[in-house]
Amino acid sequence: GVLTPEGKWGPLSFMKLTHEAFRGNMNTLKHYIDVANVEDDSAEAIENLGLFAAHFNRFCIVHEEHAKHEDEVIFKIFNDYFPEHAKKYNDDHAEDHAKLEHWRKLANQLLNTKCDVATRKAALDELRGDLPAFFQHFEEHLRGEEDNLNPIGRKYLPIALMVQMSRKVWELTDAKKWEIIVPFIILGLPRHPMRIRYLKVLMWALPERAQQIGAIVYRNVDAVMWERLRTVVPEMVPRGAPGWKRYY
């Protein structure tokens, strides 16, 4: 057989895993936009609209924060090494944010029963017309970052600098947003080893935040998922929860 070496990972690997969660969430959004129907007042149709809007709002929040992490911390360092190498992706972030904010308002309009059906249907039609092309563009954007920027981190940056960057990323976003981002990624990743890797990478750079991160996970996943995660990453069990141990 042919030896396939395990993929390398480091303190910045949480960024690539965030990309994988975006991909998983885009599949979810495609499903709900396909089944959305503002002319059907059944409980199932109303629930589908609510789920689409909720998923899309979370997508927009995570996109905004992830872009901030890249623009203000990660790509700033990459550009220090290779001037303007990340400029295209910085520009994409600004343009995509404006589009997503417009579509987020349309998604929320789907739930506004004070609007007439024609207005809500026009919002749904616009979302159905625009989002597939955006998802294709965004996949190309993610792949472009992974192919053209991630190697800078892997091949040029020392571990100490990557840890420093990860810590700056954490400080850049407030706790309320991490309460959305961490579950988005955990639930959006397609494979359980990726979820474990995401948590271990965060705690590599932020060991003193392990129980804070664990508390976020504990509050936002079901009991089965929590058990599967905490048995492999026991250091994240928050104080008072079964399995908690003093870590200092």
pLDDT 10s digits, 165-184: 999 999 999 999 999 999 99
Structure tokens at 15: 């960024």
Distance set, CA 15 to CA 94, 144, 152 (Å): 18, 14, 13
Rounded to two decimals, the pTM is 0.93
Distance between first and last Cα of the chain: 45
The first and second tokens of residue 137, run together, are 């563009």
C-alpha distances out from residue 141 to 136, 187, 246, Å: 9, 22, 42
Q: What is the pLDDT of residues 57-82, one digit of tens each?
A: 999 999 999 999 999 999 999 999 99
Instruction: Say how far residue 72 (Cα) sits from the centre of its chain.
Output: 17
